[in-house]
């Protein structure tokens, strides 16, 4: 996109320029992204990646290795051999997860392969540690098929207390999650499905409260039928949303049971097929416009392109509608445009607008909770407990149209979510360790607070070198 | 997920009384227009399994001609599935079969199930089984002593459906393009 070369009023897109926020926000974002990218390469080179392993035991002399390693360690192995669950006490398994990917859908970059996925997985591991106190090991896997991927993850599960699937293309991500969750005795999570859906549901719960609506009575449209929205739809149905007023829309229009491509979906994407049958278009057929007429809620998780949803779409919705435009980096409609067309509440996936629906609000706390409970799985009840607690966290501080969800600067909510997750695991009978609510909370506080101390201490001791100054930025031709 | 729902008043798993939510009857000339798109859906589904089953440009015309010929042909069975309740009168699926003479084998007459298609909302809940039973009865009444079913070799759903009901492969058809 041309930057300062373009005139203040772009004759080709007068509407968007007039709106003020549109192109300038888009351009700002593009410019920033490029600058951050260059800096990220520099720093990745300087630090040689983002994470390393660090001993957590004293090593006073080489003699101590007789305890930590052979011969002492043999007794620890025998204890685990006699009772494999003791691995969760006698090794770091209780707090260690694998971040696994096949590199098939990395960020917005598409299928870039396992090697290129590694920096993203390292970044995720950093988030897991700093936000959740979780030791996460990045493991990109070269797999020729979903079955090979599943077999590989299954084979390495003995080392881990949980598995985080990352950046796997839809729809194969559904089958991979389903099969691994079924086969493994530890929690398996796919953030693009569960994390995003949980954060969306949390935001929606508060938006309904703010606009005096309730779940069974609303008409909701989900734009986009990928990993996140298919799970959001499932969670909404579990929360009591009527299937008769829930409409999914994809590139081919409203997803209903008579659609021509349903047979193909049954073969290629049975998860989408099931939602199509369950909702049957919420009683509607046609395009996005037909879906949105009189709808109370729009949850868009589709293509990152403004104008995917237009002001007239919003105007056709019920009075004071709730609009989540979650595509990144470009929301389906700019918040100002949506508000101008009558939206009562707008949320996006971006941190530079109010109401960011962000899966980082969910996944570190969910893993803290399931790891502390040594849970065997993460059923939807656990996901919903996390969503409800996140919603409650925002409500405790006071809900408003610009404070729908806590921000990342309100970390006090995270241990609460972890405790709610732990409680739910205990209640469902999938916890290997049944702590009380207060014990879960205290533990989460301690473990989630520790990494920040660690990072500070390493910096103070100069064991983590300070960030080098940014190299002068190459000027762009048209700047 | 909370079971299969439907458009208000449409087939719905949880609220319908038990029994298949369809009514089967012999197809009439007047049904052909409604059956054509269903037959085409089935052939397009077959195309998903194998590029050698690519649907012809004139498939719609073919479908109309074949259905017209089979409705009322004494050597063919075409049953139309109608919805029940508010969907009464709406054709939601069909089955088509032929009675063929076997030149060398006994029993002499074979009932061949060529097409079974039901719209997605009218599947499961024993509907397929009901259709299979009814078409088998009709073929038997026309003298068939053996019933067979033809479908794409890669269609594992169909393969499982029939093998669960006592069918097994007897003839293999292999292909390569020229």
Domains of chain A plus CATH, in order, are 68-193 (3.40.50.10380), 212-343 (3.40.50.720), 361-460 (no CATH)
Q: Is residue B16 part of a domain?
A: no
For residue B7, the chain A residues in CB contact (below 8 A) are 244, 256-257, 280-281, 283
Q: State which residues form the domain around B81.
A: 22-163
Q: How far is A274 from chain B (nearest CA, A)?
A: 8
- On the 0-12 / 13-18 / 19+ scale of CB atoms within 10 A, A269 is buried
Contact flag A278-B3 (C-beta cutoff 8 Å): yes
CA A263-A231-A139 angle, 5° bins:
105
Q: Which residue has the higher pLDDT, B172 or A10?
A: B172
Contact flag B2-A244 (C-beta cutoff 8 Å): no
Q: Does the annotation count A477 as an active-site position?
A: no
Q: What pLDDT score does A12 carry?
A: 36
Q: How far is A282 from chain B (nearest CA, A)?
A: 7
A147/A127 Cα distance (integer angstroms) = 29
Residues 6+ apart with CB under 8 A from A46: A465, A467, A468
Q: Which two tokens stand for residue A193?
A: 């499905």
Q: What pLDDT score does B89 carry?
A: 87
Phi, psi of B67 (to 5 degrees): -65, -40
Q: Which two tokens stand for residue B58?
A: 């004139």
Choose, from A18, A50, A56, A124, the residue flagged as catalytic: A124
Other C-beta atoms within 10 Å of A30: how many? 14
Helices (H), chain B: 32-49, 59-70, 127-141, 156-163
Q: Would you list which residues of chain A are within 8 Å, Cβ to Cβ, of chain B?
A: 234, 237-238, 243-244, 256-258, 260, 262-264, 266-268, 273-281, 283
Q: Give Cα B144 distance to the centre of its chain.
A: 17
Give the β-pairing of A345-348 and A322-325.
parallel
For residue B3, the chain A residues in CB contact (below 8 A) are 278
Q: Which two tokens stand for residue A250?
A: 């994809």
Q: What pLDDT score does A1 carry?
A: 33
State what percent of residues in chain B have pLDDT above 70. Answer: 89
Among the partner-chain residues B1, B10, B44, the one whose CB lies closest to the CB of A274 is B1
Ranges of residues in chain A with a pLDDT under 50 are 1-21, 477, 479
Q: Is residue B70 part of a domain?
A: yes
Q: Which two tokens stand for residue A29?
A: 């974002």
Reduced to 3 states (helix: H, G, I; strand: E, B; else coil), residue A72 is coil
Reduced to 3 states (helix: H, G, I; strand: E, B; else coil), residue A10 is coil
Query: Residue B102: is its pLDDT beyond 80?
Result: yes
CATH of the domain at B104: 3.40.630.30
Helical pair A363-372 and A413-427, crossing angle rounded to 10 deg: 50
B155/B92 Cα distance (integer angstroms) = 21
Q: How far apart are the first and last CA of chain A?
A: 12
Residues 6+ apart with CB under 8 A from A428: A379, A381, A382
The widest CA-to-CA distance across chain B, in whole angstroms, is 54
Among the partner-chain residues B7, B45, B157, the one whose CB lies closest to the CB of A283 is B7
Q: Does the annotation count A18 as an active-site position?
A: no
Q: What pLDDT score does A329 carry?
A: 84
Q: Which two tokens stand for residue A231?
A: 């799970």
Q: Is residue B48 part of a domain?
A: yes
State whether the Cα torsion A117-A124-A471-A3 is positive or negative.
positive
Choose, from A18, A69, A252, A305, the residue flagged as catalytic: A69
Among the partner-chain residues A238, A244, A268, the one whose CB lies closest to the CB of B5 is A244
Q: How far is A235 from chain B (nearest CA, A)?
A: 8
For residue A273, the chain B residues in CB contact (below 8 A) are 120
Give chain B's domain count.
1
Q: Which two tokens stand for residue B114?
A: 């060529």
Going by C-alpha positions, the residue among A365, A48, A21, A395 that lies closest to residue A205 is A395
Q: What pLDDT score does A34 carry?
A: 85
Residues B37-63, mean pLDDT to the nearest whole number = 96
Q: Is residue B134 part of a domain?
A: yes
Q: Would you list which residues of chain B are within 8 Å, Cβ to Cβ, of chain A?
A: 1-8, 10, 41-42, 44-45, 48, 119-121, 157
Contact flag B48-A267 (C-beta cutoff 8 Å): yes
Identify the helix (H) or strand (E) that includes residue B79: strand B76-83
Residues B125-146, mean pLDDT to the nearest whole number = 96
Residues 6+ apart with CB under 8 A from B146: B102, B107, B109, B110, B111
Q: What pLDDT score does A474 carry?
A: 59
For residue A234, the chain B residues in CB contact (below 8 A) are 1
A416/A422 Cα distance (integer angstroms) = 10
Q: Is residue B170 part of a domain?
A: no
Question: Which tens digits make up the pLDDT trace of A345-402?
Answer: 999 999 999 999 999 999 999 999 999 999 999 999 999 999 999 999 999 999 999 9
ipTM above 0.85, yes or no: no
Please check whether residue B71 is in contact with residue B78, taking contact to mean a CB–CB distance below 8 angstroms.
yes
For residue A264, the chain B residues in CB contact (below 8 A) are 44-45, 48
Q: What pLDDT score does A305 carry?
A: 82
């Amino acid at each position: 996109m041309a930057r300062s070369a373009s005139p203040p009023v772009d004759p080709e897109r007068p509407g968007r320029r007039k709106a003020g926020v549109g192109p300038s926000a888009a351009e700002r974002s593009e410019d920033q992204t490029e600058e951050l990218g260059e800096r990220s390469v520099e720093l990745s080179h300087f630090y040689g990646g983002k994470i390393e392993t660090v001993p957590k035991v004293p090593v006073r002399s080489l003699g101590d290795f007789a305890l930590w390693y052979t011969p002492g360690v043999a007794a620890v192995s025998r204890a685990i051999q006699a009772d494999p669950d003791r691995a969760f006490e006698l090794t770091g398994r209780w707090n260690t997860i694998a971040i696994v990917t096949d590199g098939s859908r990395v960020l917005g970059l598409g299928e870039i392969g396992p090697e290129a996925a590694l920096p993203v997985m390292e970044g995720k591991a950093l988030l897991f540690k700093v936000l959740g106190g979780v030791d996460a090991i990045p493991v990109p896997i070269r797999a020729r098929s979903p079955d090979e991927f599943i077999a590989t993850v299954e084979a390495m599960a003995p080392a881990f207390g949980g598995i985080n699937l990352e950046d796997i293309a839809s729809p194969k991500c559904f089958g991979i999650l389903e099969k691994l969750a079924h086969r493994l005795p530890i929690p398996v999570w796919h953030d693009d499905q569960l994390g995003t859906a949980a954060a969306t549901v949390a935001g929606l719960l508060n938006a309904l409260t703010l606009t005096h609506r309730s779940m069974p009575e609303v008409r909701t449209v989900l734009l986009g039928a990928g990993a996140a929205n298919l799970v959001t739809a499932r969670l909404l149905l579990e929360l009591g949303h009527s299937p008769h007023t829930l409409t999914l829309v994809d590139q081919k229009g409203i997803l209903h049971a008579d659609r021509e491509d349903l047979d193909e979906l049954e073969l290629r994407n049975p998860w989408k097929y099931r939602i199509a049958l369950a909702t049957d278009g919420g009683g509607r057929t046609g395009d996005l416009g037909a879906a949105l007429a009189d709808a109370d809620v729009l949850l868009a998780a589709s293509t990152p392109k403004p104008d995917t949803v237009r002001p007239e779409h919003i105007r056709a919705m019920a009075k004071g509608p709730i609009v989540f435009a979650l595509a990144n980096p470009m929301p389906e409609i700019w918040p100002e445009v949506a508000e101008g067309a009558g939206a009562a509440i707008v949320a996006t996936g971006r941190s530079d607008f109010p109401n960011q629906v962000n899966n980082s609000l969910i996944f570190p706390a969910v893993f803290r909770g399931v790891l502390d409970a040594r849970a065997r799985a993460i059923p939807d009840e656990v996901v919903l407990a996390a969503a409800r607690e996140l919603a409650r966290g925002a409500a405790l501080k006071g809900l408003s149209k610009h404070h729908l969800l806590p921000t990342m600067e309100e970390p006090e909510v995270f241990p609460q979510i972890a405790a709610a997750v732990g409680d739910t695991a205990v209640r469902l009978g999938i916890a290997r360790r049944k702590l009380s609510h207060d014990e879960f909370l205290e533990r989460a506080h301690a473990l989630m607070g520790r990494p920040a101390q660690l990072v500070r201490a390493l910096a103070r001791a100069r064991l983590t070198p300070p960030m080098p100054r940014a190299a002068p930025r190459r000027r762009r031709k048209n700047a | 997920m909370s079971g299969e729902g439907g458009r208000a008043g449409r087939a719905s798993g949880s609220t319908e009384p038990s029994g298949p939510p369809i009514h089967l009857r012999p197809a009439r000339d007047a049904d052909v227009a409604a059956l054509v798109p269903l037959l085409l859906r089935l052939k397009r589904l077959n195309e998903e399994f194998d590029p050698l089953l690519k649907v012809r440009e004139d498939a719609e015309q073919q479908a109309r001609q074949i259905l017209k010929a089979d409705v009322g042909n004494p050597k063919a069975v075409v049953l139309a599935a109608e919805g029940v309740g508010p969907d009464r009168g709406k054709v939601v699926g069909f089955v088509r079969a032929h009675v063929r003479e076997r030149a060398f084998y006994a029993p002499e007459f074979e009932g061949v199930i060529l097409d079974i298609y039901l719209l997605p909302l009218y599947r499961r809940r024993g509907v397929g089984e009901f259709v299979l039973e009814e078409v088998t009865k009709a073929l038997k009444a026309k003298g068939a002593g053996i019933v067979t079913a033809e479908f794409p070799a890669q269609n594992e759903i169909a393969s499982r459906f029939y093998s669960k009901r006592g069918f097994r492969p007897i003839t293999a058809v292999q292909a390569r393009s020229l």
